[in-house]
Amino acid sequence: MPVGRDLVTPRGGPFDPSPVERRPVRVLRGGPAGVVVVYRVRSPAVEVRLFASAPLPDEDVERALRSARDLVGLDDDATDFLALARAHPLVQELARGRDTRLTRTPTVFEAFAVAVIEQLVTGVEARASIRRLWAIAGEPVSGTTLKASPSPEAVRRVPMWKLHAIGVGSRRAATLRVGAMRGAALERLRDVDPEVALERLQSLPGVGPWTANHVAKNALGWADAVPYGDVHAHYLVTQALTGVEGDDDAMVRALEPFRPHRARVVSLIERAIFLGRGLPGIPRPRLPRVDPHRREPWKF
């Protein structure tokens, strides 16, 4: 049943409607009180419509509308970053006419689960494990064939042997279960300063700077997150900004002029290299070959 509607003009800078048009239907919450959002681009605005399996209190509707806007970055204002981008010719060129908004997942735990699964393995393997976890633990929306991302409670019910079977090794599985046990605490990270959130995330076993920054960027919409410890980011960013390949510390120094929008710079550079035509003088990283018949995911 329809429970809410909003017509939103995206704030600050160019807006790319293609992600919304490719996936106009998203699930915010599963279960008997499931909530689904349907987007429709009505240039220059985006129509946001909410449908629920049961009637919702007004405060739930308002919260869901906020989450729906965050899911596609409608409220993220990148105006200040576009002014900062003028400090570097390459960044200015990459930002010209491009959508630099950051999105936020409906729950912090969703971003946490994805970041943990992506640790230590290739993107191909991580995406396969994420799809499998969503299939076995995602919560169906009553009356539909749609599923929400797994809740902490659903992940806690998945036995370790099954996490191994879908390609989540012992160390990552243990970290995932710790996060599932502290699901409520993870959601409260949205109420604190991102720097504090980073500290609290890294207090969990198995969570380092890379994972914490990914969660801060993808769940909290923190525009200053830096992928410290990433396998590619340090040399791609330093080569792009300084012309010289460097380590993580060099990457942090190169990004310093762009505070508090460093995550947007990294995203622009990575998108240009991995999804675009590349950047002059920077070869596209050779992606590792993955054995499709790998039988020992617990080693990872």
Q: What is the DSSP letter of 157?
A: T
101: left (phi over 0), alpha (psi -120 to 50) or beta: beta
Of 119, 116, 114, 203, which Cα lies nearest the Cα of 150?
114
3-class secondary-structure state, position 136 = helix
Sheet containing 35-42, strands listed edge to edge, beginning at the edge strand earlier in sequence: 2-8, 45-52, 35-42, 25-29
Residue range 10-21: mean pLDDT, rounded? 91
d(CA 118, CA 212): 12
User: Using 50, 70 and 90 to split pLDDT, how confident is the model at 55?
Assistant: confident
Residue range 170-187: mean pLDDT, rounded? 97
Cis (ω within 30 of 0) for the bond into 44?
yes
Domains 77-102+223-300 and 108-219 share a fold: no
For the record, the structure tokens of 130 come out as 């994420």
The residue count for the chain: 300
Mean pLDDT rounded to a whole number for the chain: 92
Q: What is the DSSP letter of 279?
A: B
Q: What is the DSSP letter of 10?
A: P
Of 166, 135, 162, 138, which Cα lies nearest the Cα of 152?
138
Comparing 11-20, 44-53, 88-97, 126-135, which segment has the lowest mean pLDDT?
Answer: 11-20
Comparing 38-42, 113-117, 284-288, which segment has the lowest mean pLDDT?
Answer: 284-288
Strand-pair partners of 233 = none
- 2-8 and 35-42 as β-strands: parallel, antiparallel, unpaired? unpaired
Right CATH for 108-219 from 3.30.1360.30, 1.10.340.30, 3.40.50.11890, 3.90.180.10: 1.10.340.30
Confirm if 216 and 201 have CB atoms less than 8 A apart.
yes
Digit-coded pLDDT (tens) for 217-233: 999 999 999 999 999 99
User: Using 50, 70 and 90 to split pLDDT, how confident is the model at 40?
Assistant: very high
d(CA 45, CA 72): 13
**Residue 291 predicted with pLDDT over 80:** no
Q: What is the pLDDT, as a whole number, of residue 294?
A: 52
Output phi, psi for 70, to 5 deg: -65, -35
Question: Looking at the domain 77-102+223-300, which fold is it?
Answer: Endonuclease Iii, domain 2 (1.10.1670)
Q: Where are the domains of the chain?
A: 2-75, 77-102+223-300, 108-219
